Amino acid sequence: MHEAFLQGNRRWKFVPSRQNLMELGSEALATLRNSLMRNLWLCPLTNMLPVDPVRAEDGNVYERRAIHGWIYEAQFLAPPRLCSPVTGKPMGSRLTSCFEVRNSIDLLVRRGWLRGPVAERWVERQVEDAQVAEAARIIQAR
């Protein structure tokens, strides 16, 4: 019964009742919790947890590189127009860093509340970004 609930990326076919949740075993509840938390923070463009999350003017959270690419490509449309990747409605190009989202994802992954390939890839990308930053620091110090 909870399968339909887990299938959507951000939209679920139904919200399980308290009784339905009570009938789920602990493993199913852990899977449901993991899916809900993961889907809450997934970037709609990359379908991955953002390492550098930003909020666009449409109110959605994206990976900075992905939404920058979306905005850049919109310049070359004829006529140039920027629309939300989620709603298709016009939006501005201003992006705001979301430190609270990054910190929440970090906490959820470290505590094991977010697991699986999506969380593992997020950790790998964190390590890669740290290595790139360290290399840049070393080069600048020379």
Q: How many CA atoms does the CB half-sphere of 92 hold within 13 Å?
A: 6
Report DSSP state, residue 83.
Answer: B
Q: Would you give the end-to-end CA distance of the chain in angstroms?
A: 60
**Residue 11's pLDDT band (boundaries 50, 70, 90)?**
very low
Strands 61-63 and 53-56: what pairing? Answer: antiparallel
Phi, psi of 74 (to 5 degrees): -65, -25
In tens, the pLDDT along 53-69 reads: 999 999 999 999 999 99
Predicted confidence (pLDDT) per residue in 78-97, tens digit: 677 899 999 999 999 999 99
Q: What strand order describes the sheet that includes 53-56? A: 61-63, 53-56, 95-97
Q: What is the mean pLDDT of residues 35-49?
A: 83
Q: What percent of the chain has pLDDT over 90?
A: 53
Does the predicted TM-score (pTM) go above 0.75?
A: no
Helix (H) or strand (E) holding 4: helix 3-7
User: Residue 27 is which amino acid?
Assistant: E
